[in-house]
Amino acid sequence: MSHVHHISSEHLSLETIEKIVSEKYTLALSEDAEQRITRCFEYLQQKTKQSDRSIYGINTGFGSLYSKKISPADLEQLQANLMMSHACGTGAEVPAEVVKLMLLLKIQSLSYGHSGVQLQTVKRLIDFYNRDVYPVVYQQGSLGASGDLAPLAHLCLPLIGLGDVYFQDFKLESKHVLEMFGWEPIALKAKEGLALLNGTQFMAAYGTYVLLKARRLSKAADTIGALSLDAFDGRIEPFNELIHRIRPHQGQLQTADNIRQLLEGSELIVQEKQHVQDPYSFRCIPQVHGASKDAIAYAEQVFLTEINAVTDNPNIFPEEDEIISGGNFHGQPLALALDFLAIALAELGSISERRTYQLISGLRGLPEFLVAEPGLNSGFMISQYTAASIVSQSKQLCTPASIDSIPSSNNQEDHVSMGANAATKLFQVVHNLERVLAIELMNAAQAIEFRKPKKTSPRLETLVEAYREVVPFVSTDRVLHYDIMKSIDFLTTYPL
């Protein structure tokens, strides 16, 4: 029996989302959400029947076609046309785990009762989510400003029996899946297509996916950095709380504290040192990792606001008897946060690669390239090349997307966020970071062996022991690709 999460106006946190996804919860609407959706829908139907005035996107054309009035007989066709004409996505397909989040976040946003959709429309999106029916969505096509129009059109086409979906790893035309479950295509009512297509759920889903990974990788960076520090015979003094109290950035304080705890009980860290200072990639871990932690915290705050918000247009307020056309679909807050997050994560990778480089350099009693017979064996030499290549790509991907804007829709939509491009770049950056940290772990675990019989801390010894079950010590050259892949798997599953 799977758990059920009831969609309501209750604040959706990252922890809740992680739980819903990882523990495979099914979704249902709370009674309160059903009432809000129904009340708003009925209000809108009544309003369009009673009033003759133009209401943007409900009885008018879209974008710069806002001045074209649509006759009541054509209102449903208008919404279906909107859905089809906007399905202009191209490029690579959006990964299933991101599509799943798009569905969840779209359902959440429509549940507040300001969008004017039919109850059955939201319930069908819930059916897709619960039955693992994932619409085929493409990565390219959104300007991130009138919402994520093209991706959301692809996400919602299957509601009307168009477009493709994945079901049980097969790619099918959506009409076949509707037939399979005995679902009738939804007949879209006034404003519904617009409610489905306007919104920031493409950007928000990518951001949420990355933030869940970023939390873990930020911890992993501290843990692996501490292991590298001990393997490098580094000093603990730069982590003394006194230093950080006089420059009390939250992330910096937290990182220094993490490293002290991770190295608690290490024989290596307390032994006498020949050198008075360590390179920055070790000595400045609190300052660099800490700055990234603070950037992640900023992005979290932006995304938590967004995923608990209504981001379509126009917005309907039954209580106040108002229908207001505004710009809640504009992705600017997300675009800036996505760009900042990419920079913060790329920096964690950048400093990690430098620690790997120090470990293979034959310094402080470690053998060159971390093998017993360098020369005959190249050891870990090329693993650093790989890390350097990935880090360089991440730097290139950190060119901000949010500083660009190309006008669209006959200059009606004259400033856009380009947050969707920021989102897909960020997805690549977070996976790059995972790979770079896995390479550092591989090098640090190898280097720590050359410090025996002295031991690192009990906590890090446990980590290395668990890692060794997956990736054995390298005594002579072997194909390291497999070790890197196993290291990435280990990094994504080991309880940090």
Active site residues: 56
Within 10 angstroms of residue 46's Cβ, the number of other Cβ atoms is 11
The helix or strand, by DSSP H or E, that contains position 4, with its residue range, turns out to be strand 4-7
Residues pairing with 90 in the sheet: 140
* CA gap 392, 389 in Å, rounded: 5
Contact by Cβ (8 Å): 21, 100: yes
- 453 preceded by a cis bond (ω within 30 of 0): yes
Place of tokens 């280990």: 490
184-214 core/surface letters (b: 16 or more CB in 10 A; e: else): eebebbbbbbbbbbbbbbbbbbbbbbbbbbb
492 is written with which tokens?
């994504």
Please list, residue by residue across 463-479, b when 16 or more beta carbons sit within 10 angstroms of its beta carbon and e when fewer do. Answer: bbeebeeebeebeeeee
In angstroms, rounded to a whole number, what is the distance separating the alpha carbons of residues 47 and 116? 11
Amino acid code (one letter) for 362 = G
